[in-house]
Amino acid sequence: MLETLTAGGPVMIPIALCSIVAVAVFLERAWALRRSRVAPRSFCVQVLTFTEQGRFDDAEAACRSRDIPAGRVLATAIAHRGSSRSLIKERIEEVGRREAADMERGIPVLGTIASIAPLLGLLGTVGGMIVTFKMIQSSGLGNVGSLAGGISQALITTFAGLTVGIPAVVANRWLLARVDALLLDLEDASLAVLDALNPSDDEAGA
């Protein structure tokens, strides 16, 4: 296996680095984007129950005790409970945008790798074909071994680039879909708490 990778030439080094980075980013984001680390259902239900019962201090304390996106979003809603509905929604959206940016952190790296890995493979393919044509120029078509070496280098780098790029595309799309699903959960939880607070837009001037 190592001999096969070595036969791919120097382009295999950045392709290998891309694969390592892609795996590291995917594992880190997959761990960070677990529901229990973003918006646990039991936690959201607890905060909503406290809010419906008018136990705002308990609800806010529960939010502050959990360093998770749901805790920060719901704490913002409860902290502004005396304000108008539009103002509370505005504050929730501000915090939500920051949380969304944090959840998407690192995911663009996968998109970049998905784009450049096949291009690196193509670069290796071009390099291998150049080697092949140089061999043809210097030795003619009789040296089959040399020709096979250049063609092999071209095929190996193409295969390696696609092997890294295709999973990176899948991982990138999966993580983005995961973020969207978690943001919907956050939105549902925050709207439920907002409805429980029952603010009125008539308080806008307060």
Tens-of-pLDDT digits for all 206 residues of the chain?
A: 566 566 667 888 899 999 999 999 999 999 999 999 999 999 999 999 999 998 999 999 999 998 999 999 999 999 988 888 889 999 999 999 999 999 999 999 999 999 999 999 888 888 777 767 676 666 665 555 556 666 766 788 888 899 999 999 999 999 999 999 999 999 999 999 998 888 766 544 33
- Residue 12 makes CB contacts below 8 A (sequence gap 6+) with 5, 6, 124, 156, 157, 160
pLDDT at site 150: 62
pLDDT at site 204: 41
The pair of structure tokens assigned to 82 is 């005396």
**pTM (2 decimals)?**
0.82
pLDDT at site 128: 74
pLDDT at site 85: 87
pLDDT at site 198: 80
Neighbours of 145 (CB within 10 A): 8
Contact (Cβ atoms closer than 8 angstroms) between residue 105 and residue 33: no
